[in-house]
Amino acid sequence: MPTLKFVRSVWESFRASSGLEPRLLDSLRITSATPGRVKFELPIESHHTNRLSILHGGTIASLTDLGGSLAVASRGLFATGVSTDLSVTYLSSGGKVGDLVRAEVVCDKFGKTMAFTNIQFKNSKDEVFARGSHTKYIALAWKDPNNIVEELSPKPSGGKKE
């Protein structure tokens, strides 16, 4: 199964069984996925904003959490583990209703017990407005029968490991 299709299936599972994601992030679109890297976008809607009518920091924190999970999924884990640490740095406003947030998340380290991810958020001017990191405990996620870890393991290219 291609990485993008698998990551989208994990996202659909979140949408079907979670309380938060379908309410807050339902309009999120995954635009690309390769093992260890996922890109997505979210059009800003009124429920994503704060009382200043700009993108709410809590929305960005939720996107950091979800993005880390999707990056873990891009390595083949259907059950994406549980959060142990999450951090967000807000550099500027992410935009207002009608703007588009684009994000790229990378799984920096993928081990037997822990996964470490980082994410960058860009506004409609292609400027980074926030960045985050997300650490996940994944030891139990390895047992999920829906995993396709072997299939999505990075393959060596030209004698070099990715």
DSSP three-state, residue 64: helix
Count H helices and E strands in the chain, helices first: 3, 6
Give the model's pLDDT for residue 153.
Answer: 79
Torsion of CA 122, 51, 132, 38, to 10 degrees: -50
Give the model's pLDDT for residue 161.
Answer: 43
DSSP three-state, residue 8: helix
Q: Which residues contact 140 (CB under 8 A, 6 or more apart)?
A: 79, 81
Walk me through the domains of the chain, giving residue ranges and CATH numbers: 3-142 (3.10.129.10)
pLDDT tens string, the chain, 162 residues long: the values are 799 999 999 999 999 999 999 899 999 999 999 999 999 999 999 999 999 999 999 999 999 999 999 999 999 999 999 999 999 999 999 999 999 999 999 999 999 999 999 999 999 999 999 999 999 999 999 999 999 998 887 666 654 443
Give the model's pLDDT for residue 155.
Answer: 67
- pTM comes to 0.92
- What is the rounded distance in angstroms from the CA atom of residue 141 to the CA atom of residue 69? 11
